[in-house]
Structure 1
Amino acid sequence: MLPRCKFYHDCKSNAVTVVPYSKMPVCKHHFLTYIQDRVQKTIKDHALIDFENPQEKILVGLSGGKDSQTLLTILDQVFQKKVQMEALYVEVGITPKNYSRDSGIVARSLCEKLNIPFHTLTIKDDMGLDIDDIHQIGERSRKRGRRSKKGRFRGECSYCGLVKRYYINKFAYENGFTKVATGHNLTDEATQLVSNFFSVDMEMMSRAGPTTITDVKGLVPRIKPLYYIYEQELIMYSYYAKVEHLGTQCAYAVDSPMMNVKGSLIEIEKFRRGNMMNMVKKFQQKLKHILFETIPEVKKVEAECTECGMTTYLKICSFCKTKHRLQDQFSKIQPRN
């Protein structure tokens, strides 16, 4: 039996759960407000949203999963229309278990419930292929034993992430949004940080943080209000707040290396409580600014991609290069007439 809520003198209630890293017992009401307060603090401390700017316009990237659905719910509940906010769902075309179809349905449903403008963008309309098609390329590549960063195939999750980032930024830029908000949580960020460390990818590590505020034309600043909220806390929040979301896991994410790294960090958290929180905070305070100085100046130069016109330091941006390579590989595995 759980003890009384930490704030029993206010609510006169028993606890329904404990905060994972602090083991603080809280009732349903105080747990929900506790998470909301921490999100507000992150937004305030890192100046993620300018509420004094009437032109501030936030685009929330929705996936239909618990993280982005919870983010939209918290932003709506806490700020009560104090800032312009709309949502975008990127249809990436994952048909196993009707994953993409059902994700889009619950994303739209939440926006209708909260009366928030909802947009959908289908990648196949522009790319000519989707994640199902990319999976076919991967299956062929795996049969041939090819899986490297430069060699043909990096994994469905990697391509899916690249595609979503590109199209969300493109949509935000073309439609006058000042910020893009995503549902990345503390567990996600700790996982990415460790993975980049294993790869000694200092450029990617230097980008880590609750915001990527930039004045670069064509790159809309991204914000992560859930940056200091554990994934387990979001699972509990979505349960107690009854946040509508899709509980199904993507079939292509099962063998993702990132999932294995995340699992290891969660296990470490059991005997080293607060490990992820401490690692991410200390990195922001002590290492990020040092790593940023290691980025070659050539990668700080602004230019326009000759293919799509979006900002890049290359002649052709990494998205367009990847798209052309995938299109070429997919054409080779299509049956001939």
Structure 2
Amino acid sequence: MKKCKFCSQPAVILIPLNQMPLCKMHFISYIHDRVKKTINQYNLITSDDKVLVALSGGKDSQTLLTILHEIYNKDIQIEALYINVGVTPKNYSNDSYEVAKDLCEKLEIPLNMIDIKTELEFDIDTVHKLGLLQKGGKHRKKGGRFRGECSYCGLFKRYFINKFAVLNKFTKVATGHNLTDEATQLMGNFFNVDMELMSRAGPTTMTEVQGLITRIKPLYFIYEQEIVMYAYYAKIHHLSTECEYATDSPSGNIKKSMLKIEEFRRGTMFYMVKKFQERLKPTLFGTISEEKKAEKKCIICGMGTYMETCAFCRTKKRLQELILTNTKLRNVDD
């Protein structure tokens, strides 16, 4: 058994990037230091910030809130927001909320909640049923205009989190995206040759568009494996159940491929993301048209956007029309 690099205690983990052995105490301290370094290097949080943490009940966001509380305690304003997207299989959404609520009560951090069914009159369960109808039953075919549930869920979450942050005067929105997430997303955008999305990747999404709150990712350089181990050793309660609708997510297959590459080429994800930030992102951002950088407000909802009508309003309208025209919707089995 290996000994911790900094003491004589048995190591509980080998850090994926450099295979450094660490005991429980020094591993937790190591993760805190790396998150602090990311925050300081990219100026993610200042003493004047009011930070909204997007909380889902999963390991990433639960870990993020715990670490930010550990680092800042009462030095900055921190609140959490849970978006109930309405996933009933395995009681996913309700259980997620209970886990998020328990952590916020433990840390004495205010927890806010938005129910999208109240806001939209439909939820992700409805979207799932609609998808079955649009693509022909439970064995849905790929392609067509109807995207996967994860795509719609992500869009709704981003919109309502940003809207809540604007209305309540938050200056930053913190999300639990980790290094594995970011490497997967970067590779997916590369496959799609989506230069605009690649240009916006990074530990922070800065914007001068009024009504779009800056998003930050303090866990940007922390591997998912490290977060799993941190949550275990720091005893962070989180929901381990996966959303049933996420099984067909295209990014899942890309993630598996990235993990396989990491097995025989250690550090691939870290160096790919880091070098992209240093070398390619500045060049890519220069290719985005001034029109897409210009400040606009959605002509329907009034929120900040880069287009006349924001993606949320366009998608909401299309889904509402599809729901109205599908009289069989309520009869589709979950």
TM-score range, shorter chain: over 0.9
Out of 219, 228, 248, the residue aligned to residue 221 of structure 2 is 228
Alpha carbons of 1:3 and 1:129: their partners in 2 closer, same or farther (altered >3 Å)? same
- Aligned partners of 1:113 and 1:263: how far apart in 2? 35
5 Å-filtered alignment, 1:224-263, equals: 224-263=217-256
Taking every aligned residue pair, what percent have the same amino acid on both sides? 59
Once residues 50 and 6 of structure 1 are traced to their aligned partners in structure 2, the CA distance between those partners, rounded to angstroms, is 32
Structure 1 residues 139 and 27, CA, compared in 2 at 3 Å: closer, same or farther?
A: same
1:336–1:62 distance in 2 versus 1, CA, 3 Å? closer
**Does structure 1 retain, via aligned residues, the 8 Å contact 2:57–2:239?**
yes
In 2, Cα distance between the equivalents of 1:146 and 1:171? 36
Shift, 1:27, TM fit: 0.3
TM-score when normalising by structure 1 = 0.95
- Find out whether 1:319 has 2:312 as its counterpart: yes
Give me the whole-angstrom Cα distance separating, in 1, the residues matched to 2:268 and 2:306: 36
The answer on 1:38 being equivalent to 2:39 is: no
Deviation per CA, 1:229-275: give whole Å up to 9, x if none. Answer: 00000000000000010000000011111011001101110000000
Specify the SS of the correspondent of 2:210.
Answer: coil
Q: Does 1:179 align with 2:190?
A: no
Unaligned stretches of 5+ residues in structure 2 = none
The aligned length equals 328
SS of residue matched to 1:116: coil
Alpha-carbon offset, residue 219 of structure 1 = 0.5
Q: Out of 279, 293, 297, which is 2:286 matched to? A: 293
Superposed displacement of residue 146, structure 1 = 6.1
Report SS of the residue matched to 1:254.
Answer: helix
Stretch of structure 1 that moved more, 289-298 or 35-44 = 289-298
State whether residues 199 and 281 of structure 2, in contact with CA within 8 Å, keep that contact through their aligned partners in structure 1. yes
Q: What residue is the counterpart of 2:56 in the other structure? A: 63
Unaligned ranges ≥5, structure 1: none
State the Cα distance separating 1:313 from its structure 2 match: 2.9
* 8 A Cα contact 1:146 1:153, kept in partner: no
Cα distance in 1, alignment partners of residues 69 and 328 from structure 2: 49
Contact 2:130–2:329 (CA<8 Å) still a contact in 1?
Answer: no
Aligned-residue CA RMSD in angstroms? Answer: 1.4
Q: 1:307 offset after TM fit, Å?
A: 1.0
| 2:42 matches 1:6 | no
**CA shift at 1:215, angstroms?**
2.5
Q: Distance in 1 between matches of 2:306 and 2:246?
A: 31
The residue matched to 1:85 in structure 2 has which SS? strand
What's the TM-score, normalizing by structure 2?
A: 0.96
Alpha-carbon separation, structure 2, partners of 1:247 and 1:39: 23
Change (3 A) 1:210 1:336: closer
Residue identity in the other structure for 1:252:
Y
Matched, 1:27 2:23: yes
CA distance in structure 2 between the partners assigned to 1:146 and 1:260 by the alignment: 17
Secondary structure of 2:205's aligned partner: coil
Matched residue SS, 2:86: coil
- Tell me, yes or no, if the aligned pair for 1:146 and 1:152 is still in contact at 8 Å: no
Cα distance, 1:224 vs. partner? 0.2
**Secondary structure in 2 matching 1:328:** helix
Q: Hey, what does 1:169 align to over in structure 2?
A: 162
CA distance in 2, matches of 1:286, 1:224: 19
Task: Tell me if the contact between 2:129 and 2:329 (Cα under 8 Å) persists in the aligned partners.
Answer: no
Which deviates more, 231-240 or 76-85? 76-85
> 2:74 pairs with 55, 59, 81, which one?
81
Structure 2 residue matching 1:294: 3-state secondary structure = coil
